[in-house]
Structure 1
Amino acid sequence: MKRKKVNKKWITLLMVGVLGLSVFAITPTMIAANEDSVVGIEDGEIDTIGSTIVVNITLDTAPNGLSGYNMTISLSEPGVAEIVDVEFPSWATLHSNSTLPADSFWVKACDAMNQTIPGDTNINLGKLTIRGDVQGRCEINVTVTQLDDDMGGDMLPGLIVDTGVLTVAQAEVSIPEFTTVVIGDTTRVNITLDRTPSGLANYNVTVSLTNITIAEMMSVEFPSWATLHSNSTLPADSFWMNGTDVGNLIVSGATSVSLGTFIIRGDAEGTGDIIITVTSMNNDESYSVPLFSTTISGQLEVISVLTIPGQSNPPTDPDGDGLYEDMNGNGRKDFNDVVVFFNNMEWIGANEPVQCFDFNGNGRIDFDDIVILFGEI
C-alpha cells in the first residue's frame, strides 16, 4: 500500500496557527498586568509639636503579584516635619533604606518568598513615622523609580501616585455661635484664634453679613499686639481687616488670641449669618497656619425691645453689656428701674427678649435678676 506524502508546508502553517492562538490566549493576562495601579500615602495630623504619627504607604492592586519596589519619600516643607523611621511589611524579606531621620530618603524591598500573590489588593509597602517640628502643613511625596510584578513586568507605565498631606498643630478661628443685637443698638463680636504653637506673624480676614437688611458693621477695634493694621471702609456689610505682630508679642504657645473686635448695629428684625473668611495667616516660622476651616460662621439675630407698660420709652442698655438696666427708658440706671422691673417681672418674661433682662444668665426672668439689678444701682 502506497503512503501519502505529508505536506511540510501545511504542518508549518498549522504550528504557526496554534502558536498564534496560544499568544492570543495569554494576552488578557498581559493586559491585566498593565492595568493602572495606585501607590498612595495616607494623610496625617499631628496635634502637638514634637509628637509623631505613623502613616501607611499602600499599593491598591497587584494583578500579577509584586516582586519588589524602589522609591523615594520626601516632605515638601522640610522645616515642618521630619521622617524618623520606616517599618517594612512582613513580606519584604529583603529590604534597605537610606539614613533616617531625614526629610527625604530612598527605600526598597523585595518579596523573595513570593508572599504577595497575583490579585492581591491593599498591599502595605511600609509605614513611616513622622515627627512634627513646627506648626504648618506639607505634602508627603513619593517617587516610584521601580515597581516589578512576579512575571518580570514593569508596573510603572500607567502607575498613579497619590500624595499624602501632613498637618502639624492645626488651629481654629472662631466667633460666637450666636450673636443678638437690639434694633437701633450695637453689640461687639470678637474674632479669636485658639492657639499659636509657633507664634503669629500676621493675618488677613474678611467679615461679611448674609442678610444685609437687618444689620450693618460700624467699626473695628484691633488688639494691642497688632501694632501694624488696616481695614477697608466702614460702616459696611462686608469688610476686610489685617494685622501684623511687629513686636513679636504673640509668642509660641499663646492661647485665645484676639484677632480683633467688630461692632454691629441692628437695623431690622430678622436673622442671618456672620461669615469670617481667613484669606491668609502666617506664623513666626513663615509657614501658613493650618486651620480646621478657613470659613467660619455664626448666627446673627436682630430683635426689638418693647416699651414696658406705664413707661414712655423702651428700655436701654447704658453700659453696652447686652443687658437692659434702664427699664424706664430715661437713659440712665436708677432705683426706679428696679421698681419697674419688680412690678412688671411677669410681663417682661412673657413679652421681652429674655436674654436682655436675664441678669443671672439662667435663661429665665426671676427675682434674682431684680436683686442683681438693685446691686448695680
Structure 2
Amino acid sequence: MLLAVTLATTLALTAATSNAASQPTVAVGSATVDTGDRTTLAVTLSSAPDGLSGYSVFVTVSDPSTGLIVDASIPTFGIQNATVLDDATAELRAVDIIGRVDSGASDVPLGTVTILASAPGEMTVSIVTSRIDTDRGDPLHPRTTNATVIVREDSRQRADRSVGNTSRMPSTTPKGPRGLTNPAPILGVCGAVTAVIVAMLLAARPS
C-alpha cells in the first residue's frame, strides 16, 4: 500500500513538472541603459501549440520616474494595435487574420516596448495577459515572467565627476612663504649675492 502511494505521488509530481516546463510563457527582455538613453524590450510567447488567433497583453513598469514607456510596436498580424496608455503602461493587441502563427510555433514575437531612462535606479517590467486565444478560439493560459531594467548614471556625467574630483586633489608640492613654491633656490641666490657684495666692500677698504 505504501509503495502504491509513493508511486502515485512520484507520477503526479513528474506530470506537474512536465506540464510546467511545457506551459507557454510570455516574457519580456531585461536591459541596462544609461540615463537619457532609450532601450527597446521584446515581448515574446515561448510556444503556441495550437496556433494563435489573437491576443491582448499589457506591459507595465514599476517606477516611471526611473524609466517611462514612450513607444510600442507589433509585428504585422493583419489587425494590430500598439498603444502607450500612460508613462507606465502599454497595450499590445492583435488578431492574426493572415495565419502568421501556425500550430507548434515557438518564440513568437508579440511586440516591443521602448523605455526612456529618466534617472538612475532599478525597476521591474511586468506582463499581464488580458487574453490569448488559439486558432481554435480556446483561451491560452500562459505563464508570465517579469524583467528588470537597470538605469545607470550617464557615462559622460560619470567622466565629468571623475575629472572634477581629480582637479580638487590637494597639491603635494611644498610651499614657501606667501605661497612660493620651494624657496630654497631663491634663498641660495640671495646668499650668493650678499657674499659678493661683502667681498667687494672688504676689497675697497684702505689697507
Cα pair 1:217 1:234 within 8 Å, conserved: no
* 2:54 match: 202
Give the whole-Å Cα distance in 1 for the aligned partners of 2:84 and 2:41. 18
In the other structure, the counterpart of 2:192 is none
Number of residue equivalences: 149
1:263 corresponding residue in structure 2: 114
Change (3 A) 1:215 1:308: closer
Runs of 4+ deviating beyond 6 Å: none
Q: Which residue of 1 aligns with 2:23?
A: 170
How far 1:234 moved relative to its partner?
A: 5.2
Larger radius of gyration: 2
1:235 CA drift (Å): 5.7
Query: In structure 1, the residue corresponding to 2:146 is in which secondary structure?
Result: strand
Q: Structure 2 stretches of 5 or more lacking a match?
A: 1-11, 163-207
**Higher RCO (CA-CA < 8 Å; seq separation 6+):** 2
Structure with the bigger percentage of helix: 2
1:111-190 aligned within 5 A: 170-176=23-29, 178-190=30-42
Q: CA deviation at 1:232?
A: 3.4
Are the counterparts in 2 of residues 277 and 296 from structure 1 also a CA contact under 8 Å?
A: no
2:59 partner letter: V
Hey, what's the Cα distance between the residues in 1 that align with 2:157 and 2:16?
A: 55
- Alignment counterpart, residue 287 of structure 1, candidates 125, 129, 138: 138
Q: How much has 1:290 moved relative to structure 2?
A: 3.0
CA contact (8 A) 1:186 1:264 kept: yes
Q: Is the 8 A contact 2:62 2:123 kept in 1?
A: yes
Change (3 A) 1:285 1:297: same
Whether the 8 Å CA contact 2:36–2:154 is kept in 1: the answer is: no
The letter of the residue matching 2:48 is T
1:63 maps to what in 2?
none
Q: Given residue 112 of structure 2, which amino acid in structure 1 is its aligned partner?
A: T
Shift of 1:304: 2.0
Matching of residue 300 in structure 1 with residue 149 in structure 2: yes
Is this contact kept in 1: 2:34–2:155, CA < 8 A? Answer: no
1:253 CA drift (Å)? 1.4
Partner Cα distance (2:47, 2:101) in 1: 10
> Sequence identity of aligned pairs in percent?
22
Counterpart of 2:169 in structure 1 is: none
The 2-side partners of 1:173 and 1:190 are apart by 10
Cα distance in 1 for partners of 2:78, 2:17 equals: 32
